[in-house]
Amino acid sequence: LCIIKLIKKNVLLRVIKTVVCIFLTMLLCYNGKEKFEIDILDVGQGDGTFIQYADGTAVFIDGGSTSKDKIGKYTIIPFLKSKGISEISYWFVSHADEDHINGLYELMEAGYKIDNLAVSQSAAKCDKKTAEITELARKLNINIIKLSEGDKIRITDEDRIECLYPYKNTVSDNRNDICLTLKVVSGSFSAIFAGDIPTETEQVILANSNIGKTNLFKVNHHGSKGSNSKEWLSTIKPDISVISCALKNNYGHPADEALLRLENCKTRIFYTMYSGQISIIKDDKENLIINKFLENESAAVR
């Protein structure tokens, strides 16, 4: 009996030592700082992107789908819970088409905490649906930010979100023509999110903005043939391009013409319809780690 007690005591001591060692290792490795991360969610036919800066600031761009029911309840909220995110500091709306905002509506109506809702100043003036969502936000005490070209939201000294388009006096009854176009910056890293802008709007931006090369490009209009022009791609020269769309959709997304232009500019192309959620994480050495939810492979891009 004494021998059995001694064995049990020794086993317990080893377990305690192991747990203590694991805890101390985690404590030593933890530097109190999150890594910059972008998650392009698999929302089917739509868009939804989560961004977390290293200081913990949580950002969302769009959030909707026309191929998945209750995308807010069954995809966006579970994702945010899995990340331990109970509050979004800035939620950007590129434009008010259903495949970009119906999930956001669900979160707002469910009382999810959103500090700031950012929309295009042009859309706020001339688009009824944008006016509706800003009015709902106002009733929920969410601060409204109306952006136009040149405006910047600073997160830290090295982190910011820049508005590249629309311009202050831009007016159109076509939502795609006045999509909020954003440049997300974290240190030396940059990413472009431009909603569903068409080729004509791409040309306007190129003619009036020093947009430059980017690391990550969330492909315009789900890979539409009427977007992602050769001139646009040859200017931004993206290392990584992500297409968000459903495997089966009525729009022909992504179009063969757009894919050919992307391939010709030597960018690495990822698809939510094949890989599910796609995560891009910036490590301490400024490398980008790409993880695909439906495939057990990752890649580093310097």
Residue 119 has pLDDT above 70, yes or no: yes
pLDDT tens digit sequence for 282-298: 988 888 999 999 864 44
* Position 290 in a domain: yes
Which of the pair, 30 or 268, is modelled with greater confidence?
268
Per-residue 3-state assignment (H helix, E strand, C coil) for 256-300 = HHHHHHHHHCCCEEEEHHHHCCEEEEECCCCCEEEEECCCCCEEE
Q: Which of 243, 250, 239 is nearest to 273 (CA)?
A: 243
Q: Under 8 Å CB-to-CB from 79, ≥6 apart: which residues?
A: 39, 41, 50, 277
Burial environment of residue 237 by CB neighbours within 10 A (0 to 12, 13 to 18, 19 or more):
middle
- For residue 284, the model assigns a pLDDT of 82
Model confidence at 100, pLDDT cuts 50, 70, 90, reads very high
* Position 103 in a domain: yes
CB 131 within 8 A of CB 117: no
- For residue 85, the model assigns a pLDDT of 97
- As a whole number of angstroms, the distance between CA 62 and CA 45 comes to 13
- As a whole number of angstroms, the distance between CA 40 and CA 77 comes to 14
pLDDT above 70 covers a percentage of the chain that reads 86
* Position 19 in a domain: no
Range of the domain at 181: 34-301
* Position 8 in a domain: no
- For residue 227, the model assigns a pLDDT of 98
Q: Per the structure, how many domains does the chain have?
A: 1
CB 54 within 8 A of CB 89: no
**Mean pLDDT computed over every residue of the chain:** 90
- For residue 16, the model assigns a pLDDT of 62
Give the single-character DSSP code of 35. Answer: P
- As a whole number of angstroms, the distance between CA 198 and CA 178 comes to 10
Q: Under 8 Å CB-to-CB from 67, ≥6 apart: which residues?
A: 44, 45, 46, 246, 248, 249
pLDDT tens digit sequence for 32-74: 457 899 999 999 999 999 999 999 999 999 999 999 999 999 9
Q: Report, as an integer, the average pLDDT of 260-289.
A: 94
Q: Report, as an integer, the average pLDDT of 205-229.
A: 96
Q: Which residues of 252-276 are buried (b: 16+ CB within 10 A; e: fewer)?
A: ebbbeebbebbeebebebbbbbebe
- Tokens linked to 207: 């003619």
* Position 14 in a domain: no
- For residue 26, the model assigns a pLDDT of 42
Q: Which of 65, 13, 58 is nearest to 44 (CA)?
A: 65
- List the CATH number of the domain containing 42: 3.60.15.10
Residue 173 has pLDDT above 60, yes or no: yes
